[in-house]
Amino acid sequence: MAKITLKEIAKRLHLSPSTISKALNDSYEISEETKRKVREFAQRHNYQPNPLAKYLKLGKTNNIGVLLPNIQTSFSAQLLRYLHKSAIHNSYNFILMQSIDNEKDEERALLTLTNQGVDGILIAPVSETSNQQLLSDIHNNNCPVVIFDRIHYNLDTHKVGIDNVRSTYLATEELIKINRKNIIAFCGKNIGVTQYRLEGYRKALEDYNIPIKEENIIYIDYRKSLTKIDEGLKKIIIRHMRSNDPPNAILGTTETLTTRVLGVLADLKIQVPKEIAVIGFSNIEFANSLNPALSTVHQPTEEMASTALRLLLDLINSKRDRSQIDFQTILLETSIQLRKSTMLT
Amino acid sequence: MAKITLKEIAKRLHLSPSTISKALNDSYEISEETKRKVREFAQRHNYQPNPLAKYLKLGKTNNIGVLLPNIQTSFSAQLLRYLHKSAIHNSYNFILMQSIDNEKDEERALLTLTNQGVDGILIAPVSETSNQQLLSDIHNNNCPVVIFDRIHYNLDTHKVGIDNVRSTYLATEELIKINRKNIIAFCGKNIGVTQYRLEGYRKALEDYNIPIKEENIIYIDYRKSLTKIDEGLKKIIIRHMRSNDPPNAILGTTETLTTRVLGVLADLKIQVPKEIAVIGFSNIEFANSLNPALSTVHQPTEEMASTALRLLLDLINSKRDRSQIDFQTILLETSIQLRKSTMLT
DNA sequence: TTGTAGGCGTTATCAT
DNA sequence: ATGATAACGCCTACAA
């Protein structure tokens, strides 16, 4: 806070800067007497070391960069919260960036981060191939990168996420168990994980000998305008409900789609779960407030955050040649939380 | 990214560091020829100036600190999103901190931020009196502070928020209009804005000559454990419904309370709005997915973010003595969005 | 047009 | 136990 510097203290105390530095850093070389005096003076004058100078000297910033596509979901908010908690706990700060699901913004954010000086980067990439060269350059130079959430990405480093195939497999299975076999799958467009989540859906249907209707797999690109998503969903649902083989269940592969679809169904007065059962990815805390209480695939955000951060700090503090490290991909377990939207009683 | 420094370039090009520096900063002193050569070399080697060194020299970091009590609500997420957008747009990065509605964490966060070197701080304080001395010290030294959202705080600086009294007045009025006059008000505990929001509630009742029942004003402290909030709400609602003058409406003065209460009502099979109408603060994007579609008091997050940031940057870049500035408190308009939860057809 | 020197606030190394 | 010096990487008078 205060403007006083180490040098200034030295002058006022008739000591040298190095003595002050050592005293404040509790060096064994300095007498208790002097330490006391220095500390007392520093405190009284509210001395705060200049972090830039310190980090310049030390060659690190104690900042890590966190780059998320979008912070508008409960999933992201939780991730952020726990990342923050872990970071602080390890005496790191984080600089938050958003790519808004957009390669150009992602690139800009990455440049800003490196430019700004971060000791490492945690990223959920926009797509499977976005900014590959850049990210690889960054990673292979000074600044280790750990990938989380959207782990299907071609970079040789630690990755922390969930088993997307298995998660949707289990969710789909829940629908099949209640005999809802005509299932619409709503997917985000071009998100790295989409294909894998769909794979689980397909596999489950196959395993239960249910024919896959390609027209039941629907991509919705809501990244640009969240406002139009409701209209889009509405049109599609109406069309399907009017077909001669109307669906009786919906699987949402992203939180946004899963939660939004409920509003559209309510608006269309389509009864859930009576006419259509709904299950999908969502970490929303108040699933019970939804119409109706929503069955969800829930991701372990706290574990994901702490694991990703731990791996990143390992890389930052590791002296070893980056190519010597065998990188791991950690898949955390999701949990299925059944609520009214899939309960037929 | 790359490890190359200005000095290194100088050596390799057989020029002096200052020449390189000037060339890269497009100084008029340097010949075009040299500039071209230097730029080309720098680009090829992916030269990035060390931000710490630069900022040490320049005396600023280009970082601003953002301190929020909690990022788990739509309101905060939106605020964050727009703050980020504005910050980036002004070539500032932001370092995010959370106080988790807790004075101790707030203090720690503030110390970290100043310690880390930020050019200014944007804060929504934990309470009306939390960390007053510290914040005032920070503000009066190098690091200007702007307060937003929770603007009822004793610090002489710019503040940006909403008119809390008026907002709840209008919301309460909506309930009165549909003849729901026995209104429970759910309030967060010790949040700076609570009293003002309650004031609007009280005023509206008075203006319509409705007696105020003190037992209808209920404080819920959910800051420590969000998990128990549902149980808490449940008990209270049951008790009130069983009284001899059961309420017929609920006003939520925080987003969390407003959204959570719907789940509890659904669980208790209390019909909304038939038995109880609900309105309250919430910036949730998918209000239509709630049970039922929720009438909300909506805050202009984008405007709040951009205004607060603008004022902060003004302070950062202002050369004037801090005491010369006449600080403003800006109150933005909220909007009431009526949906099913208050519609009696 | 280019180069030299000093300094930003620290810390580390090496004297004294 | 304390101090002098150099260095981190960059910028900027000022000198050449």
Q: Are the Cβ atoms of B289 and A74 closer than 8 angstroms?
A: no
Q: What would the mean pLDDT of B250-274 be, rounded to a whole number?
A: 97
| Nucleotide with the nearest C1' to A19 CA | D2
Residue A189 has pLDDT above 90, yes or no: no
Q: Is the peptide bond before B292 cis (omega within 30 degrees of 0)?
A: yes
pLDDT tier for residue A1 given thresholds of 50, 70 and 90: very low
Q: What would the mean pLDDT of B108-119 be, rounded to a whole number?
A: 82
Which of A120, A185, A108 shows the shortest CA–CA distance to A148? A120
Which of A51, A72, A78 shows the shortest CA–CA distance to A63? A51
pLDDT tier for residue B319 given thresholds of 50, 70 and 90: low
Distance, in angstroms, between A217 CA and closest chain B CA?
22
pLDDT reported for residue A2: 53
Residue A218 has pLDDT above 90, yes or no: yes
CB-CB neighbors (< 8 A) of A77 in chain B: 71-72, 76-77
Cα separation, B144 vs B319, in Å, equals 12
CB-CB neighbors (< 8 A) of B260 in chain A: 286, 289
Distance, in angstroms, between B322 CA and closest chain A CA?
15
Using alpha carbons, list the distances in angstroms from residue A119 to A58, A99, A107, A316, B108: 12, 19, 18, 7, 22
List CB contacts of B49: < 8 A, sequence separation 6 or more.
B6, B24
Give, in Å, how far the C1' of D7 lies from the CA of B88: 34
CB-CB neighbors (< 8 A) of A288 in chain B: 230, 263-264, 266-267
Give, in Å, how far the C1' of D11 lies from the CA of B20: 11
For residue A96, the surrounding DSSP H or E stretch is strand A93-98
Q: Are the Cβ atoms of A63 and B95 closer than 8 angstroms?
A: yes
Give, in Å, how far the C1' of D14 lies from the CA of B20: 17
Q: Is the peptide bond before B273 cis (omega within 30 degrees of 0)?
A: yes
pLDDT reported for residue A97: 87
**Do the Cβ atoms of B207 and B181 come closer than 8 Å?**
no
pLDDT reported for residue B268: 97
pLDDT tier for residue B157 given thresholds of 50, 70 and 90: very high
Please state the φ and ψ torsions of residue B237, each to the nearest 5 degrees. -65, -45
Tens-digit pLDDT profile for residues B215-224: 999 999 887 7
Tens-digit pLDDT profile for residues A81-140: 999 899 988 888 888 888 888 898 899 888 888 877 789 999 999 999 999 999 998 898
Q: Are the Cβ atoms of A290 and B289 closer than 8 angstroms?
A: yes
Residue A201 has pLDDT above 80, yes or no: yes
Give, in Å, how far the C1' of D16 lies from the CA of B343: 84
pLDDT reported for residue A319: 66
Q: Are the Cβ atoms of A52 and B50 closer than 8 angstroms?
A: no
pLDDT tier for residue B2 given thresholds of 50, 70 and 90: low
Percent of chain A with pLDDT over 90: 70
Q: What would the mean pLDDT of B151-180 be, rounded to a whole number?
A: 97
Which of A172, A130, A180, A177 shows the shortest CA–CA distance to A155? A130
Q: Is B114 exposed, middle or buried (0-12, 13-18, 19+ CB in 10 A)?
A: buried
Q: Is B5 exposed, middle or buried (0-12, 13-18, 19+ CB in 10 A)?
A: middle
pLDDT reported for residue A61: 83
Q: Search chain A and give the residue with CA nearest B54.
A: A52
Domains of chain B by start residue, with CATH = 6-49 (no CATH), 58-161+301-332 (3.40.50.2300), 164-300+336-342 (3.40.50.2300)
Q: Which residues pair with residue A66 across a beta bridge? A: A96, A122
Q: Are the Cβ atoms of B3 and A138 closer than 8 angstroms?
A: no
Cα separation, A342 vs B233, in Å, equals 25
pLDDT tier for residue A237 given thresholds of 50, 70 and 90: very high
Nucleotide C7: nearest residue by CA–C1'?
B57
- At B282, which amino acid appears? S
Q: What angle do CA B67, B70, B72 make, to 5 degrees?
A: 135
Tens-digit pLDDT profile for residues A273-328: 999 999 999 999 999 999 999 999 999 999 999 999 999 999 988 867 777 889 99
Q: Are the Cβ atoms of A48 and B115 closer than 8 angstroms?
A: yes
* For chain B, counts of helices (H) and of strands (E): 12, 12
Q: What would the mean pLDDT of B200-216 be, rounded to a whole number?
A: 97
**Do the Cβ atoms of B342 and B277 come closer than 8 Å?**
yes
